[in-house]
Structure 1
């Protein structure tokens, strides 16, 4: 079994996903990434992970604007599912809309980050996510 922490990335935009994967590769982040490109795929991945002891992700990076099931709907589902309700969720979105921010926190998001424009800023953000959510944060 892989000892690296697991991260679920939920992102439908192929360009944003490529940039994020490149930032992870270039950084010192050692994480097992699973990718879901729509809300239904995210829920399926979380259901599978929740069914196996110790396989839930340490953190979920969740976009809001997704096909099939929105990021809000995924977050709401997560907080109602006993197996994954405590998994930290970092909203990673291009939306800086205050209504989206408030709704995400109301539904139980742990953090809300707006995707940076530059690759260097994204790499720095990935390293901060790693430092806090994968290395420092204690999980239930």
Structure 2
């Protein structure tokens, strides 16, 4: 990944949250490409460059909702972190769940961070922009082995 350039995978089935996240990244100062998948199966296909995502670039950062159709976020997280080629990708759980059990389980599965989505749209955008500044400006991310 070159400085100020990132491929971000948002795994989110709520169109409103996708819209807010896109807007927050668009307003940010960091050049990035936001890819969106709507369920856990698509997310794994994207990361493994399978099916319709055969030409996808390996994401530098994954924003993962827990409550997903077909394969939930915990299953996706567990599979990603078990794969030696993908486990280095930071996975930020971004969910509406404020359950202590969900948080602990996510960290047990090696999530890099757990954020509860604010209900207020302005706070939601602020959260995304803070996440973007931290993970894409301050943190050094490794290059993905899969290209």
Aligned to 1:116: 118
Q: TM-score, normalised by structure 1?
A: 0.89
Shift of 1:6: 0.5
Aligned to 1:75: 77
CA contact (8 A) 2:5 2:30 kept: no
Aligned to 2:13: 12
Aligned to 1:133: 135
Q: Distance in 1 between matches of 2:13 and 2:104?
A: 22
Give per-residue Cα distances to partners, 1:18-51, cap 9 Å, x unaligned: 12112222333421011010000000000019x9
Aligned to 1:92: 94
5+ unaligned residues in a row in structure 2: which ranges? 143-147
Q: Distance in 2 between matches of 1:81 and 1:135?
A: 26
5+ unaligned residues in a row in structure 1: which ranges? none
Shift of 1:57: 1.5
CA contact (8 A) 1:29 1:127 kept: no
Aligned residues: 136
Name the SS of the counterpart of 1:25 in structure 2.
Answer: helix
Q: TM-score, normalised by structure 2?
A: 0.85
Shift of 1:138: 1.6
